[in-house]
Amino acid sequence: MSEMKADDLNIESIETLMTPLQLKEQMPLEGKALESVQNARQSIFNILDRKDPRLFVVVGPCSIHDPKAAMDYAHRLKELAAKVDDTLCLVMRVYFEKPRTSVGWKGLINDPFMDDTFQIEEGLKIGRQLLLDIVSLGLPASTEALDPISPQYLQDLIAWSAIGARTTESQTHREMSSGLSSAVGFKNGTDGGLTVAVNAMQSVSSPHRFLGINKEGQVSVVRTKGNPYAHVVLRGGSSGPNYDSVHVAKAEQALEKGGVNQNIMIDCSHANSNKDPQIQSLVLKDVTNQILEGNQSIIGLMLESNINFGNQKIPKNLDDLKYGVSVTDACIDWAETERSILEMADKLRDVLPKRVAD
């Protein structure tokens, strides 16, 4: 009779990675870049505290797969950010970890070369270098906090984090968020349900004790203080969009009933645009009008945008990849991004300061 092992039945191998401390020593965040992250975080905290009348707009590719194109995008966004800085605080989406509905490429950290070699250590190095290059421009960066370990390697560079629709209900993600240094947005569930996000808000502001790793990579008990800068993100769901004024009013009621803050971000993409990028600008216009008509709860927006329009399947031969085109969700192109954001800033320039004063 063959003896069956008690563990590792389904484990092929386990490989030790460099520690968070080693990566940070190789690629330190210091000087102007550090200052830029601190200033961006403070701006977002001030917006959430209603001390800064601007809105923050998380805008950029659905996922990063080509660091060169990401820097091309970052330079454009930095230039645009300077033009609208009095009204909008622009934060680049620098998403390295993709939650998949079933299977698919899971992002630059998991498989940086998109060839199923899963060189995660390289992914962490490429990701950290790219974030350093972006924040060194003075442009804030945001990401989805999906893996509970990777924040130890990268979170010091992040000004805003998202918890995605597929993980808002997860205790692991709520615990992790309670210790993140950035503000964090919780999406409503993929079914459109907001209760999971309201519950997440109640959880994340509390201290938690849980298993994690320290900077030396040792398994540790992490004790958090609770994150005071969490808010909900309306992204629509299987029953349809939820960006309109009726859904926003219902969300305000649910947040009040749950005893949590009434800061709402609208994700113009995902189920709010039925994943059709062309609809994103219409959602943006609708939200702008809600604010013009007196809405007080909307403090931020999200747009999925890239250099070029649409998306592409990852080709077998990577030389066939089209430059600046998403390999995950379809995005609006740069011209549309620039036009929509400039238009929004123009419409809201005189209105937002009065909103805080009211």
Ligand X SMILES: O=C[C@H](O)[C@H](O)COP(=O)(O)O
Ligand Y SMILES: C=C(OP(=O)(O)O)C(=O)O
Q: Within positions 240 to 299, which residues make up the interface with ligand X, using CB under 6 A?
A: 270
- Could you say which of ligand X, ligand Y, none residue 204 binds, taking C-beta under 5 to 8 angstroms by partner kind? none
Q: Are 148 and 213 in contact (CB under 8 A)?
A: no
In this chain, which of 98, 173, 187, 235 binds ligand X, going by CB under 6 A? 98
Least Å distance, CB 144 to ligand Y, is: 6
Could you say which of ligand Y, ligand X, none residue 144 binds, taking C-beta under 5 to 8 angstroms by partner kind? ligand Y
Q: Determine whether 59 is exposed, middle or buried from the number of CB atoms within 10 Å of its CB (0-12, 13-18, 19+).
A: buried
CA distance 12 to 6: 15
* Nearest in space to 338 (alpha carbons), one of 133, 83, 89: 83
Q: Which does 187 bind (CB under 5 to 8 A by kind): ligand Y, ligand X, none?
A: ligand Y
Could you say whether residue 193 binds ligand Y (CB under 6 A)?
no
235 makes contact, choosing from ligand Y, ligand X, none, with CB < 5 to 8 Å by partner type, with ligand Y
In this chain, which stretch among 15-23, 31-39, 97-105, 150-158 interacts with ligand X, using CB under 6 A? 97-105
Under rule CB under 6 A, how many of the chain's residues touch ligand X? Answer: 9
99 binds ligand X (CB under 6 A): yes
**Nearest distance from C-beta of residue 99 to ligand Y, angstroms:** 5
Instruction: Please say whether the beta carbons of 282 and 336 come within 8 A.
Output: no
Q: Which residue is nearest to ligand X (CB)?
A: 101
Residue from 153, 235, 301, 307 binding ligand Y (CB under 6 A): 235
Task: Show contacts with ligand Y in window 48-67 (CB under 6 A).
Answer: 62
Nearest to 126 by CA among 116, 112, 140: 112
77 φψ region: left (φ > 0), alpha (ψ -120 to 50), beta (else) = alpha
Q: In whole angstroms, what is the distance from residue 304 CA to residue 330 CA?
A: 8
Q: Which phi and psi (to 5°) does residue 288 adopt?
A: -60, -45
DSSP symbols for 74-109:
HHHHHHHHHHHTTTEEEEEE-------SSSS---TT
- Residues 140-179, mask of contacts with ligand Y (x by CB under 6 A): ----x-----------------x-xxx-------------
Shortest reach from residue 235's CB to ligand X, in Å: 9
- For ligand X, the binding residue among 51, 68, 100, 322 (CB under 6 A) is 100
> Could you give the C-alpha distances from 264 to 78, 213, 349, in angstroms and in order?
25, 32, 20
The β-bridge partners of 59 are: 92, 303
CB of 99 vs ligand X, minimal distance in Å: 5
Instruction: Let me know: does 142 contact 163? Beta carbons within 8 Å.
Output: no
Q: Is 275 helix (H, G, I), strand (E, B) or coil?
A: coil
Comparing every residue's Cβ against ligand Y, the nearest one is: 164
Contact string (CB under 6 A) for ligand X, positions 328-357, x = contact: xx----------------------------
Please, where are the H alpha helices in the chain? Answer: 20-26, 31-48, 67-84, 120-136, 151-154, 171-177, 195-204, 245-257, 277-292, 334-348, 352-357
Query: Of these, 187, 208, 231, 247, which contacts ligand Y (CB under 6 A)?
Result: 187
Binding letters toward ligand Y, positions 77-96, x by CB under 6 A: ------------------x-
With 0-12 / 13-18 / 19 or more C-beta atoms within 10 angstroms meaning exposed / middle / buried, residue 113 is middle
**Binding stretches for ligand X (CB under 6 A):** 62, 98-101, 104, 270, 328-329
**Binding stretches for ligand Y (CB under 6 A):** 62, 95, 99, 144, 162, 164-166, 187, 235, 270
